[in-house]
């Protein structure tokens, strides 16, 4: 008869398992069997004549379950690429209901859920379909796990007892399993109880255990007794600092490490916690000293495979010069890419094109570890695409592929002594020193996708974990992490968009310092560069009367001669690297819409909006404003219709370019629109600005804007008439504003141009500093 092993140890994470094994290396004894909690549940249960499905199979089954369902009412897209990402919302919802032993009908019968009835009915229909598909395929996942699991007595019979180091939360199903096992052999559970994990501990309280907050316990679940009770250590050296730049937190992390090591702390006993694990790639860039080992692995963003895939995707979607140059920089054959990718981009993916693309990418990469993980990813993706029987375009397939590739990570084998990890990976681990960065409201608490479909009120009513419960559990993890540490360093970003997490006031017994500390630390990462401002006097031998002037260049010259010099003579242009739209982009869309509209023979609101929709650009920054302008165009259409009835205008010219001579000086420009109204010619200039100002008898002498005067002179020459009226069309407020001081401003323009006939011009900086506020060159001029 096989003798029993003494004890099975169960830890919450594989990291804790490795730590335990490492600490036992110097001990002359046989190690007990050690499992993670996930492994424990898998080995302690089994199913008769059924198989546990993989992630790709789950997607296929869910996809089939939703085949004839209107998902748009749930805010979920049926397009293949979107559903691949959003199907997880549905699955998490179903798995949570099953894990907590809640029937979906229990929710729909609850009177607080009346508002969600339609959503629930759709979800119930999907659930019924999904369970039916699982049944037909003899398959198991978390959604139907509770119905079929059996306790694996053969596995458990190997051990005399089990000890579980509990961190987190047991679902009702998990607790049922543990209770059933405790009837077969002793189970001891070690845990910490504080104010934040009451939801997790209440299951023990319901069994009759009398527990106090702020203690560490070991209990015997089989005999319902407390074996150990230990007070929690609270005191520590604590520091909290704010930074306006996220990167400067890295300088603070490195300085904190220096302080800790100087104070005798073993680097192996220091941990850096990242609420956003993606920040690890930034931290790695500055790890010149090789301080860190990354528990989450290192990303592949610098690999040939990822760089090539991303470069191809960006080039085909937008073949602007920077993307073409990137292809050349990576030594990729652009003709080959055009044949293999671009020519098929909008075609349906098939096995042949799929294999061609995959084989091409495999030949690019040489790292064996990465290729193995890539092959595993491709195997799953191939099943999803071709077994789903969905029509998928090459461009959609490649978008999914790029997303999947970006999720691959390398094991950090050439690592330093200081561990970098996410919060969940730190469970039950103890460190002498803890450094936490990004302690911001945008990242802490982390929002769960499980809360997408149900309100907190409903979740509380049917005894599902609420967002508040999840927040408290996260607080518990942070409290537990810092409980036994001697040193705690916390940083966060403080600027216009970021603020300290509300958790800080709950977890940290310290007065919040509102100052930012970038200047004290940033020198650790980089040396600040001093800008050399351009302050020299600029005097040129130039005849301004020989130049060709537009109204905008003249305005620029009159407002600030230095700006004119930098822009038009040195031709220093602004770098276009911002994702934000330029100020002129909205105006361009409206101008182009009105030009196209008045080029049509027919006039109708539907035509106007159709043209607008074709001209609008897809920008998240402009979408809101464009929707507002869609309504303003309706007001414009109605006003123009009424004006046409009353005045009977006829559009003569649109976007009329001109170049004329005025007292020996060349003027140029483009007139938005010229109308004939009865016997007069109307010059119309569209304006989209919210705050349009026009010259009056009191202000014209200080005006630098001669746009309508340029247009007046051009139309006078074009049509040989003085019967001209000049208007700004204030599109924002939907009104025509006439230039009433045209004669006075023409006289002033004549006087300005007389002064241009010189050969000695000083390009001084302007005296009105408010002009510099939005100037492209204000940094050069130190304004």
Q: Classify 249 in phi/psi space as left (phi over 0), alpha (psi -120 to 50) or beta.
A: alpha
Instruction: Give pLDDT, residue 766.
Output: 87
How do residues 134-165 score in pLDDT, each as one tens digit?
999 999 999 999 999 999 999 999 999 999 99
Q: How far apart are CA 56 and CA 54, in angstroms?
A: 6
Label residue 2 by pLDDT band (50, 70, 90).
very low
Q: How far is CA 644 from the centre of its chain?
A: 48
Quote the longest CA-to-CA distance of the chain: 116
Strand partners, 419: 271, 293
| Percent of the chain topping pLDDT 90 | 40
Label residue 113 by pLDDT band (50, 70, 90).
very low
Are 446 and 405 found together in one domain?
A: no
Q: How far apart are CA 133 and CA 419, in angstroms?
A: 44
User: CA dist 373 to 293, 356, 413, Å?
Assistant: 21, 19, 16
* 407-412, long-range: CB < 8 A, 24+ apart: 408/300, 408/370, 408/373, 408/374, 408/377, 409/296, 409/297, 409/298, 409/299, 409/300, 410/297, 410/298, 410/299, 410/300, 410/369, 410/370, 411/297, 411/369, 412/293, 412/294, 412/295, 412/297, 412/298
How do residues 580-631 score in pLDDT, each as one tens digit?
556 567 888 889 999 999 998 888 889 998 888 888 776 666 777 888 888 8
How do residues 218-272 score in pLDDT, each as one tens digit?
999 999 999 999 988 767 789 999 999 999 999 999 999 999 999 999 999 999 9
Q: Residue 620 belongs to a domain with what CATH number?
A: 3.90.320
Domain boundary residue among 120, 148, 176?
A: 148
Are 559 and 665 found together in one domain?
A: yes
Q: How far apart are CA 103 and CA 99, in angstroms?
A: 10
Instruction: Give pLDDT, residue 629.
Output: 86
Are 556 and 597 found together in one domain?
A: yes
Look at residue 100 and give its three-state secondary structure. coil
Strand partners, 489: 239, 435
Are 322 and 375 found together in one domain?
A: yes
* pLDDT surpassing 50 at residue 741: yes
Q: How far apart are CA 536 and CA 241, in angstroms?
A: 42
Are 749 and 636 found together in one domain?
A: yes
Q: What is the arrangement of strands in the sheet containing 225-231, beginning at the earlier edge strand?
A: 33-36, 5-11, 159-165, 187-193, 215-220, 225-231
Q: How far apart are CA 728 and CA 735, in angstroms?
A: 8
Count of residues in the chain: 783
How do residues 540-556 score in pLDDT, each as one tens digit?
888 888 899 999 999 99
Domain boundary residue among 231, 250, 269?
A: 231
- Confirm whether 529 is domain-assigned: no
pLDDT mean across residues, the chain? 87
Are 323 and 373 found together in one domain?
A: yes
Helices (H), 550-674: 551-559, 561-564, 583-598, 605-615, 623-647
Are 25 and 38 found together in one domain?
A: yes
* pLDDT surpassing 70 at residue 452: no
Q: How far apart are CA 624 and CA 416, in angstroms?
A: 48
Domain boundary residue among 188, 204, 231?
A: 231
Are 125 and 69 found together in one domain?
A: yes
Tokens (6 digits) for 584: 């002129």
Residues spanned by the domain of 309: 304-410
Q: How far apart are CA 671 and CA 660, in angstroms?
A: 13
Q: Residue 249 belongs to a domain with what CATH number?
A: 3.40.50.300
- Confirm whether 694 is domain-assigned: yes
Look at residue 297 and give its three-state secondary structure. coil
- Confirm whether 382 is domain-assigned: yes
Domain count, the chain: 5
* pLDDT surpassing 60 at residue 112: no
Are 561 and 688 found together in one domain?
A: yes
Cβ contact 60:384 at 8 Å: yes
Are 120 and 245 found together in one domain?
A: no
Are 663 and 560 found together in one domain?
A: yes
- Confirm whether 716 is domain-assigned: yes
Are 452 and 488 found together in one domain?
A: yes
């Amino acid at each position: 008869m096989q003798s029993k092993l003494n004890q099975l140890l169960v830890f919450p994470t594989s990291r804790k398992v490795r730590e335990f094994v490492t600490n036992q290396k110097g001990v002359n004894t046989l190690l007990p069997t050690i499992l993670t909690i996930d492994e424990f549940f898998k080995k302690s249960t089994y199913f008769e004549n059924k198989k546990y499905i993989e992630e790709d199979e789950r997607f296929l089954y869910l996809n089939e379950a939703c085949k004839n369902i209107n998902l748009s009412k749930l805010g979920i897209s049926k397009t293949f690429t979107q559903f691949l990402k959003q199907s997880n919302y549905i699955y998490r919802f179903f798995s949570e209901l099953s894990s907590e032993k809640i029937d979906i009908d229990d929710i729909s019968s609850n009177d607080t859920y009346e508002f969600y009835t339609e959503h629930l009915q759709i979800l119930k229909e999907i659930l019924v379909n999904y369970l039916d598909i699982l049944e037909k395929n003899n398959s198991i996942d978390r959604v139907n796990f509770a119905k079929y699991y059996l306790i694996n007595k053969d596995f458990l019979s190997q051990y005399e007892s089990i000890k579980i180091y509990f961190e987190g939360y047991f679902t009702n199903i998990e607790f049922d399993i543990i209770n059933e096992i405790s009837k077969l052999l002793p189970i001891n559970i070690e845990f910490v109880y504080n104010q934040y994990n009451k939801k997790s501990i209440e299951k023990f309280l319901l069994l009759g255990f009398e527990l106090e907050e702020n203690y560490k316990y070991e209990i015997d679940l089989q005999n319902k007794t407390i074996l150990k009770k230990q007070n929690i250590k609270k005191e520590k050296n604590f520091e909290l600092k704010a930074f306006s730049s996220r990167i400067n937190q890295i300088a603070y992390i490195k300085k904190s490490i220096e302080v800790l090591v100087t104070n005798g702390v073993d680097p192996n006993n220091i941990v850096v916690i990242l609420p956003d694990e993606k920040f690890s790639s930034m931290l790695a860039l500055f790890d010149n000293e090789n301080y860190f080992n990354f528990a989450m692995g290192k990303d592949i963003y610098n690999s040939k495979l990822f760089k090539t895939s991303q470069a191809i995707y960006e080039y085909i979607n937008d073949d602007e010069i920077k993307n073409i140059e990137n292809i050349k920089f990576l030594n990729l054959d652009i003709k080959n890419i055009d044949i293999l990718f671009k020519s098929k981009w909008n075609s349906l993916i098939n096995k042949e094109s799929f294999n061609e693309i995959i084989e091409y990418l495999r030949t690019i990469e040489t790292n064996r570890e990465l290729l193995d993980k890539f092959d595993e990813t491709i195997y799953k993706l191939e099943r999803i695409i071709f077994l789903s029987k969905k029509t998928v375009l090459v461009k959609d397939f490649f978008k999914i592929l790029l997303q999947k590739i970006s999720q691959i990570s390398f094991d950090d084998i050439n690592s330093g002594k200081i561990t970098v990890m996410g919060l969940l990976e730190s469970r039950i681990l103890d460190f002498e020193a803890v450094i936490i960065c990004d302690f911001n409201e945008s990242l802490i608490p982390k929002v769960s996708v499980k809360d997408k479909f149900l309100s907190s009120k409903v979740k509380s009513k049917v005894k599902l974990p609420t967002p508040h419960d999840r927040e408290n559990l996260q607080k518990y993890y942070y409290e537990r992490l810092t409980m036994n540490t001697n040193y705690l360093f916390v940083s966060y970003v403080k600027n216009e968009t970021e603020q300290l997490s509300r958790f800080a006031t709950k977890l940290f017994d310290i007065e919040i310092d509102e100052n930012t500390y970038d200047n004290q630390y940033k020198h650790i990462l980089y040396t600040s560069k001093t800008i050399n401002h351009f302050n020299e006097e600029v005097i040129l031998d130039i005849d301004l009367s020989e130049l060709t002037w537009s109204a905008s260049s003249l305005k620029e010259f009159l407002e600030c001669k230095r700006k004119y010099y930098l822009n038009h003579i040195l031709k220093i242009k602004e770098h276009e690297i911002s994702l934000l739209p330029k100020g002129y982009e909205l105006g361009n869309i409206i101008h182009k819409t009105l030009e196209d509209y008045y080029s049509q023979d027919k006039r109708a609101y539907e035509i106007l909006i159709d043209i607008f929709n074709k001209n609008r650009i897809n920008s998240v920054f402009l979408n809101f404003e464009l929707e507002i302008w869609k309504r303003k165009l309706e007001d414009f259409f109605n006003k123009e219709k009424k004006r046409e009835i009353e005045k009977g205008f006829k559009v003569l010219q649109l976007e009329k370019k001109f170049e004329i001579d005025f007292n020996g000086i060349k003027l140029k420009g483009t007139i938005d629109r010229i109308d004939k109204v009865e016997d007069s010619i109307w010059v119309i200039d569209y304006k989209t600005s919210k705050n349009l100002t026009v010259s009056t008898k009191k202000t014209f002498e200080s005006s630098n804007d001669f746009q309508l005067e340029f247009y007046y002179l051009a139309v006078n020459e074009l049509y040989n008439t003085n019967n001209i009226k000049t208007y700004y069309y204030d599109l924002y407020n939907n009104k025509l504003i006439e230039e009433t001081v045209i004669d006075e401003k023409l006289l002033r323009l004549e006087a300005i141009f007389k002064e241009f006939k010189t050969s000695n011009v000083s390009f001084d900086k302007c005296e009105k500093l408010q002009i510099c506020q939005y100037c492209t060159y204000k940094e050069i001029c130190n304004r």
